[in-house]
Structure 1
Amino acid sequence: MPYNVLTVCTGNICRSPAAEALLRSRLDDSVHVLSAGTGALVGRPVPARMAELVTAAGGEVANFAARQATPAMIQESDLILTLTVRHRAWVVDQVPAAVRRTLTLRELGRLVSTIPPGVFDPSTLPDDAARLAALLPLALGERRRHAGRRHDDDVVDPYGRSGAAYRTSFDQITSGLTPVLRAIAARPRGSLDWPRADHR
């Protein structure tokens, strides 16, 4: 049975589809990744500037069409990664029971990065679904370590802005994903550097 990951932003045309595509490019077939928006521009494609960045990093968004997030999607997801704190609040408002499996993408990366060495051994688990399922409670346990400090866990919305804004948004997404992908790597998967198109 696959492990279902849902990424959520506002319009579902820039940030959440980028996160979806990048996760799909790095995870095995045991994980099913979907994205949706809290106020989706339904049917719209990913803008060219974000598409170029994602494609350069190995993701695929050519046939993407934006979709609206629904309570059913949330209920069916094992992990919901939102692109801002406000999106997280929206998800939990829709399905309160999802509170313990809904984090901002950058929060998850931040929490995973402080899990002590040796606590989590991905090589003992059969696939990425099992590794993500085991990693989530360990990450949530790290919230105590981060309490009392101010954190910026939002990914900037680049829609309609400059190429530099798209690059900033993309970099925030990849910096959030990198600790998670490193943590669940049971064997070397090649570089986790994210090549990208250059936007000025």
Structure 2
Amino acid sequence: MSDPDGTTRPSLRRADLRRLRDALDHGETPLPASLAADPAARTSPGVHSAPRGTILTVCTGNICRSPMGEVLLRAQLRDAGVRVHSAGTHALVDHEMTEQAQQLAVASGADAAEAAAHRARLLTVQHLAETDLVLTMAREHRSYVVQLLPALLRRTFTVREFARLAATLTDDEVRRAVTAAGTDAGARLRALAELVGGQRGMVPAEPDNDDVIDPYRRSQTTYELSASQLVPAVAEVTRVVRAALG
């Protein structure tokens, strides 16, 4: 399937997306039948990241939620040796962050110049192949990512889901769990994702509370609600990432 600008997007079956989202919400990790039947879809060369470790945030247009998450995480992890970037499943390519999103991000600690410099980009397999941890803004994006690159099944979470699961782990538990991954930041982030993912069966699922509301073209109140859901989740992500890499 191609967009008017000629960009090719994967053809994703709605039934598969629903099944995958429901399975992830309940701590299960099956692949949809359409992907299970295609061995080539299970793996991709170069799935491992650059040595410093990479986190990718994902939403729809890449002009509100995911860039807010990106610039906030970048500000909070600036000295941690982590690359943070973002993309959209149906990005408004080259558009800036909305003014409201920029203001809320900066008010929450993001760098104003970085927020202003953001330009939306379309999510691709290459972005995912270079990423150790994927944090999406909603369950639909999580399902989309896993459909696009099934190898990332256990390293993809909604940001609020990741924060909810990570909150059950102490810093010491995180450090002990990632020790075997060695000193490579990417390997440690992947180990952290496995650790947090392992909590899915231990912590009650809260799928209705795992999404960050989309504020695009909505009121200032909705933007503020979106930020109030995202900012605490980013803080929890920062805590465990620092524990893993420290």
Q: What is the TM-score normalised by the length of structure 2?
A: 0.69
Q: How big is each residue's C-alpha offset from its partner over 1:22-43, in whole Å with a ceiling of 9 and x where there is no partner?
A: 0000112511111000000001
> Hey, what does 1:18 align to over in structure 2?
68
Q: Could you tell me which residue of structure 2 aligns to residue 31 of structure 1? A: 82
Tell me if the contact between 1:40 and 1:67 (Cα under 8 Å) persists in the aligned partners.
yes
Return the index of the structure with the highest Cα Rg.
2
The correspondence for 2:99, drawn from 34, 40, 48, is: 48
> Aligned partners of 1:94, 1:77: CA distance in 2, in Å?
13
C-alpha separation in 1, matches of 2:206 and 2:58: 25
| Greater CA drift, 51-60 or 102-111 | 51-60
**1:137 maps to what in 2?**
194
Provide closer, same or farther for how the CA distance between residues 98 and 107 of structure 1 changes in structure 2, counting only shifts above 3 A: same
2:142 maps to which residue?
Answer: 88
2:174 is aligned to 120
Match of 2:162 among 99, 108, 115: 108
- Shift, 1:136, TM fit: 1.9
- Could you say which structure has the higher helix fraction? 2
In angstroms, what is the RMSD of aligned CA positions? 2.2
**8 Å CA contact retained: 2:132, 2:189:** no
Task: State the 1:185 CA deviation.
Answer: 4.0
Which has the larger displacement, 24-33 or 12-21?
24-33
Whichever residue aligns with residue 139 of structure 1, its letter is V
The answer as to whether partners of 1:30 and 1:129 remain within 8 angstroms in 2 is no
1: CA distance between counterparts of 2:237 and 2:61?
25
* 2:108/2:231 contact within 8 Å kept: no
After superposing the two structures, state which structure 1 stretch, 150-159 or 110-119, moved more: 110-119
Amino acid paired to 1:40: A
Cα distance in 2 between the residues matched to 1:143 and 1:151: 15
Please state how far the C-alpha of 1:148 moved relative to its aligned partner.
5.7
Q: Which segments of structure 1 move beyond 4 Å, counting only runs of 4 or more?
A: 124-131, 147-151
CA contact (8 A) 2:55 2:82 kept: yes
Percent identity over the alignment is 42
Give the CA deviation at 1:179: 1.9
Unaligned runs of 5+ in 2: 1-50
TM score, norm. by length of structure 1: 0.83
Structure 1 Cα separation of the partners of residues 132 and 242 of structure 2: 19
Shift of 1:152: 2.0
1:81/1:184 CA distance change after superposition, 3 Å: closer
What SS is found at the alignment partner of 1:81?
A: strand
Deviation at 1:119, TM superposition (A): 1.6
Change in Cα spacing, 1:43 to 1:115, as seen in structure 2 (3 Å) is: same
Taking structure 1 as reference, are residues 148 and 9 closer, same or farther at Cα in structure 2, changes over 3 Å only? closer
SS in 2 for 1:119: helix
> Given the alignment, which residue of 231, 236, 242 partners 1:174?
231
Structure 1 residues 72 and 114: alpha-carbon distance in aligned structure 2, compared to 1, 3 A threshold: same
